[in-house]
Amino acid sequence: MRYFFLAFLFFTQVSLAQKQQRDFRPDTVRIRDIRERLIQLAMQGPDYEIMDHNAQAATYNIRIAKSAYLGLFSAQGNINEFTITGTPSSTTGVAIPYYYPKYNFSLNIPFDIFTRTTNNVKIAKQNYYALTAAKNQKFRDIKADVLTKYENYLLAKQLVELQGKVTQSEYATLKRAEGDFGENLIKLDDVERAQRLYTNEQVKSLTLQKDLNLSKIELEKVIGVKIEEVEKGYK
């Protein structure tokens, strides 16, 4: 009988743990998914978009630097007019042709063509690496920023809910005090004390609501949409 009771207690604890795990898992998945969505929305902001465009432009600079060989060569050519028509003789007036080459060509090749282009390509690549690193750092900064603002929003929201319960409790206490005073069960000082406590809790509620509104503004500034619209898809 003793072993049966121990076995029953063991399986009961296991079943309870599994039930708690099943109950907790959807909330964990929901929080993870909504955070990923917030990060995706934040990455669509102008700050990260600018870094992305800069990194993309750096790839084009690499292509330009690699194709710079073509721009370093220059060729010129002309037809010698005197080779065709010649020059008139001083005695007979008949044109005497020259036997110089009819066409003249020149090709200019800079001596530093290889070192200059190679170094320009290296510079363009280093700029690309630097901009890519800056882009990755911006991603980390935005991710940390949006997650921090979301945690602040969650905390502010929970504090408002908790404070609302406290305020309602003080309001109920005040109403009871007013009823007891009407029946001459307590003194006026007791009613005034209950009124002050209720007023203090109202001030706390308003302050926490203001903090919640500010946290929403900061979060929505990063994600670009209303936080309620995002939460709606994960309820």
Q: How sure is the predictor about 128, in pLDDT bands with cuts at 50, 70 and 90?
A: confident
pLDDT digits (tens, 9 = 90+) for 207-227: 999 999 999 999 999 999 999
Residues 166 and 98: their CA atoms lie apart, in Å, by 112
What is the pLDDT confidence band of residue 5, given thresholds at 50, 70 and 90?
Answer: very low
Whether the predicted model's global pTM rises above the 0.95 cut: no
Q: Write down the mean pLDDT value for the chain.
A: 78
With a CB cutoff of 8 Å and minimum separation 6, the contacts of 170 are: 194, 197, 198, 201
CA 149 – CA 215 distance, rounded (Å) = 7
Tell me if 131 sits within 8 A of 51, measured CB to CB: yes
pLDDT tens for 80-94 read 554 444 455 555 555
Q: Please enumerate in sequence order all residues whose Cβ is within 8 A of that of 131, keeping only pairs 6 or more positions apart, or say none.
A: 51, 54, 55, 58
pLDDT recorded at residue 171: 96
Q: Is residue 174 within 8 Å of 199, Cβ to Cβ?
A: no
pLDDT for 25-41, tens place per residue? 445 555 568 999 999 99
Give the model's pLDDT for residue 99: 47
27-37: burial string, b at 16+ Cβ within 10 Å, e else:
eeeeeeebeee
Share of the chain above pLDDT 70, in %: 66
Q: Give the C-alpha separation, 76 to 104, whole Å.
A: 8
DSSP SS3 for 100:
coil
